[in-house]
Amino acid sequence: MSENISVPVLFVPDLVVLPGMVVPVPLDDAAQAAVDAARPSTSLGDRGNTSLGESDGKILIAPRLDDRYPTHGVIASIVQVGRMQGQEQYVAVVRGEQRAHIGAGTTGPGAALWVQVEVVDDTPITDTTRELAAEYRKVVLAMLQRREAWQVIDAVNRLTDPAALADTSGYTSWLTNAQKRQLLETGDVDERLRLLIDWTGEHLAETEVSEKIASDVREGMEKTQKEFLLRQQLNAIRKELGEDEPDGADDYRGRVEAADLPEKVREAALREVGKLERGTDQSPEAGWIRTWLDTVLDLPWDVTTDDSTDLAGAREILDADHHGLDDVKDRIVEYLAVRTRRAERGMSVVGGRGSGAVMVLAGPPGVGKTSLGESVARALGRKFVRVALGGVRDEAEIRGHRRTYVGALPGRIVRAIGEAGSMNPVVLLDEIDKVGSDYRGDPAAALLEVLDPAQNHTFRDHYLDLDLDLSDVVFLATANVVENIPSALLDRMELVSIDGYTEDDKVAIARDYLVPRQMDRAALTAAEATITDAALREIAAKYTREPGVRQFERLLAKALRKVAVRETEKPGEEIVVDVDDLVDYLGRPRFTPETAERTEVPGVATGLAVTGMGGDVLFIEALSVFGQRGDEGDGGGALTLKLTGQLGDVMKESAQIALSYVQAHAADFGIDPAALRGEVHIHFPAGAVPKDGPSAGVTMVTALVSMLTGRRVRSDVGMTGEVTLNGRVLPIGGVKQKLMAAQRNGLKTVFVPQRNEPDLDEVPAEVLDALDVKPMLDVAEIVALALEPASEAAAAA
């Protein structure tokens, strides 16, 4: 139960006394008056050492901090009054006993300030209190152990009263006076313990982090000092032995003078060596200069490889590594022939403008573009290095970083020359069509100088800041989609199109290259497993529809893995994989002819398209949605057009042109005027795939006429070409890829623009033998030949 008493009060600045604490309080006049009032028997003038009992005098010690007037204090007993050893000022040693809430002022004897106070009793001790006390004990002991305060640890361990344990926090140095005052004002023992657990835990965590940082710094300094000492000792030893410091400026000067460098490169290198000699090793610039000099000295300025002069041998290497691709092989042989003749006649070969070659191999995935680069290097007798450009968005990746940047490096072209170890390697720029651009610049623009035969003899990398002669480098670039290459960059390269393989090519490639490779990977021999040519042809025709052979090889690997399992189960048995066995090894065929099924109804025509994956067929469907809508209120009965299939602007315009042409020539096609009402819906299936380009005009005209006349399109017919409002068929691109796709899909007749007839010279003979290719000039002729006769349409109806 709380009691009210009247006691003299002593305000102490920047000191908080908690119950149980014994502290000295300096005695000024106000403090002496309070002590004298608490102990009347002690005269104000008697300042001799006086020993007092605990009950001899009570005084209220209240903290006076800067932020506010105190509301609580601690009732304390005066233990002793006197001088501290070595000090002139008198002090009173007091012991805190009970918390008290300060009330109103009152009067009392002496000159001291007296106040009414209410004694604040601690809350009762519960099980929760004991648990909190145990937790706080762990935290405070951990802190004391870090400080190696073993005597204090013993004292804390002897305390059993939770309230007394909490009040020992008044001695701690990691709590602020404001926090200690909050503890003084908190009568709930549980609340005090919770506050102490939080505050002490936070300080413990901060202490651990600070000690970890200090330890790391100390270890780093010790390591640095150790390295410095060892380097000084090493320098002294080298000096005694008469050896120079290997990383010193004198050594770099000797290396530059001994290296076979071009004159301007030597001058630039010696200028940098001079800067290194005038500076200090502690300067950051010294490290940058050393790195730059190492990069320059590591480049093979005077190293070139001799090209092969055996044209027949070069052709044999190219033929042995790759089937077909005659255009690329012919270009490489031509390059060798020219260089050989120039060398025989004593004409400059190295260092002249345009003596290298820059080609871009464009075609769908899986046709061997990337692997061809290494074959070209072997055929030429040169070093080979590959530079992957897919996803590169930083111009500095090509031209390098300025030396002022931290971590600056030369660009990929310079690094490729260094990796190759010669100034005339074959450099393969892989996936050049997938170079991007962002706020860091456009790498494609940086490649303009690299790939220009008239300029690349003075290519300047930002990091080196020296002219680098790339004119004798053979650059081969690969791309899937030529349209994604900037026109200015494409203009600087020779375009070699690789349009994919025919079915016969795929069988030959599989037999000569893919099967042996996969047999070796599956640890099989020719005596253990065989895949027949008929099975290879079946895979090419019905299990894959790709221009390359990548998926083809995956299927071969799958089949041979299953063969390996059977060989393990039944060793010694020769397994022959034939057509009838493919279902067991590969499952059912994924591709079957669908043209006949898709064109069973009028309004569906088979077009031909080129995608990033090569040529493919494209079905175009036309449907009259409201063919019998009323004669009145329909805008005069004109057809309206609805398009679906994720079409681009060019293809949408082609559809409008096709519809206008069909409406204008409806009578010529025998279209019933009643059908020219309502809405026509033209759909391009595979709606998730974006489509655009000027090559589907004739197909849309044919589909519209088929729908409006009710005559089906012949199932074995495909077509490609753009159409004008007058019905003229305009030329398109990708004829070779489209005709190869038509053959793969089982078509027999293909209509192409007449002006594309010269492109047929590039189409493989076996494709032309399998197809009846008809060059056409008028779309009306295509419609007449593509649609079934009217008599058959009537019979079918």
CATH code of the domain containing 77: 2.30.130.40
Domain for residue 241, yes or no?
A: no
Which element (helix H / strand E) includes 222?
A: helix 189-241
Domain for residue 215, yes or no?
A: no
Least confident segment among 144-148, 633-637, 706-710? 633-637
**pLDDT at residue number 75:** 92
Distances 541 to 24, 53, 535, 590, 716 between C-alpha atoms, Å: 102, 112, 10, 10, 17
Structural domain count of the chain: 6
Domain for residue 661, yes or no?
A: yes
First to last CA, the chain: 110
| Residue 685 shares a structural domain with residue 724 | yes
Mean pLDDT of 462-489: 85
| Residue 329 shares a structural domain with residue 472 | yes
**pLDDT at residue number 280:** 66
Task: For residue 676, give both structure tokens.
Answer: 């020219």
Q: Which residues are catalytic, by number?
A: 695, 738
- Give the rounded distance of the alpha carbon of 704 from its chain centre: 47
| Residue 760 shares a structural domain with residue 673 | yes
| Residue 431 shares a structural domain with residue 482 | yes
Least confident segment among 75-79, 514-518, 542-546? 542-546
Give the integer Cα–Cα distance in Å for 270 and 253: 7
- Residues of the binding site for ATP: 363-370
Banded pLDDT at 55 (limits 50, 70, 90):
very low
| Residue 623 shares a structural domain with residue 752 | yes
**pLDDT at residue number 74:** 93
Paired with 438 in beta bridges are 441
**pLDDT at residue number 355:** 60
Amino acid letter, 761: D
- Helices and strands of the chain, counted as H and E runs: 28, 25
Paired with 653 in beta bridges are none
161 has pLDDT over 80 = yes
Domain for residue 182, yes or no?
A: yes
Domain for residue 304, yes or no?
A: no
Distances 465 to 87, 396, 636 between C-alpha atoms, Å: 75, 13, 73
| CATH number of 547's domain | 1.10.8.60
Domain containing 762 equals: 595-796
Residue-level length of the chain = 797
| CATH number of 697's domain | 3.30.230.10
**pLDDT at residue number 691:** 67
For the chain, the maximum distance between any two Cα atoms, rounded to a whole number of angstroms, is 141
Banded pLDDT at 250 (limits 50, 70, 90):
low
Residues 296-334 have pLDDT tens digits of 888 888 888 887 778 888 888 888 888 877 877 888 888
**pLDDT at residue number 243:** 57
Average pLDDT, the chain: 82
Most confident of 144-158, 341-355, 376-390: 376-390
Domain for residue 237, yes or no?
A: no
Q: Are 485 and 600 in contact (CB under 8 A)?
A: no
Mean pLDDT of 275-287: 73
**pLDDT at residue number 796:** 52
**pLDDT at residue number 763:** 85
Domain for residue 230, yes or no?
A: no
| CATH number of 442's domain | 3.40.50.300
How, if at all, do strands 474-479 and 50-51 pair? unpaired
**pLDDT at residue number 613:** 67
**pLDDT at residue number 46:** 45
In percent, the amount of the chain with pLDDT more than 70 equals 89
Least confident segment among 347-351, 502-506, 763-767, 781-785? 347-351
| Residue 72 shares a structural domain with residue 36 | yes
Distances 423 to 257, 294, 305, 461, 471 between C-alpha atoms, Å: 20, 17, 8, 15, 9
Nearest one of 117, 169, 111 to 139, comparing CA atoms: 169
**pLDDT at residue number 620:** 87
Banded pLDDT at 68 (limits 50, 70, 90):
confident
Exposure b/e, 214-242, CB count within 10 A at least 16 = b: eeeeeeeeeeeeeeeeeeeeeeeeeeeee
**pLDDT at residue number 577:** 87
Q: Are 662 and 787 in contact (CB under 8 A)?
A: no
| Residue 766 shares a structural domain with residue 700 | yes
| Residue 153 shares a structural domain with residue 106 | no
Which element (helix H / strand E) includes 131?
A: helix 127-146
Nearest one of 423, 509, 514, 535 to 471, comparing CA atoms: 423
Residue after which a domain boundary falls, among 209, 238, 273: 209
| Angle of the 263-278 helix axis to the 284-298 helix axis, nearest 10 | 160
**pLDDT at residue number 44:** 38
344 has pLDDT over 60 = yes
| Residue 690 shares a structural domain with residue 770 | yes
Residues 561-599 have pLDDT tens digits of 988 888 888 887 788 888 888 888 888 888 766 666 677
| Residue 278 shares a structural domain with residue 319 | no
Residues 394-414 have pLDDT tens digits of 777 888 888 777 778 888 888
Q: Are 668 and 779 in contact (CB under 8 A)?
A: no
**pLDDT at residue number 752:** 92
147 has pLDDT over 60 = yes
Residue after which a domain boundary falls, among 120, 148, 182: 120
Q: Which tops the pLDDT comparison, 230 or 717?
A: 717
Residue after which a domain boundary falls, among 497, 514, 535: 497
Q: If you write DSSP's letter for every residue of 543-610 in order, what string do you get? A: I---SSSHHHHHHHHHHHHHHHHHHHHSTT--EEE-GGGHHHHH-S-S----HHHHTSSTTEEEEEEE
Q: Are 569 and 563 in contact (CB under 8 A)?
A: no
Banded pLDDT at 43 (limits 50, 70, 90):
very low
Using the structure block, give the residue that is written with the tokens 């065929």.
589
Task: For residue 180, give both structure tokens.
Answer: 């200690």
Residues 652-678 have pLDDT tens digits of 888 889 888 988 888 888 888 877 888
The answer to whether the Cα torsion of 502, 506, 509, 513 is positive or negative is: positive
Give the integer Cα–Cα distance in Å for 540 and 538: 5
**pLDDT at residue number 2:** 63
Domain for residue 653, yes or no?
A: yes
**pLDDT at residue number 596:** 64
In the DSSP assignment, the letter for residue 484 is: G
Give the integer Cα–Cα distance in Å for 773 and 740: 12
Give the integer Cα–Cα distance in Å for 775 and 548: 27
In percent, the amount of the chain with pLDDT more than 90 equals 6
Give the integer Cα–Cα distance in Å for 349 and 346: 9
| Residue 571 shares a structural domain with residue 618 | no
Banded pLDDT at 750 (limits 50, 70, 90):
very high
Amino acid letter, 8: P
- Residues of the binding site: 363-370
Paired with 620 in beta bridges are 605
| Angle of the 326-344 helix axis to the 369-380 helix axis, nearest 10 | 20
Give the integer Cα–Cα distance in Å for 47 and 74: 25
| Residue 185 shares a structural domain with residue 159 | yes
Which element (helix H / strand E) includes 616?
A: strand 614-624
Predicted TM-score of the model (pTM) = 0.58
Q: If you write DSSP's letter for every residue of 738-770 in order, what string do you get? A: HHHHHHHTT--EEEEEGGGGGGGGGS-HHHHHH
**pLDDT at residue number 633:** 42
Residues 168-209 have pLDDT tens digits of 888 888 888 888 888 888 889 899 899 988 988 888 888 888
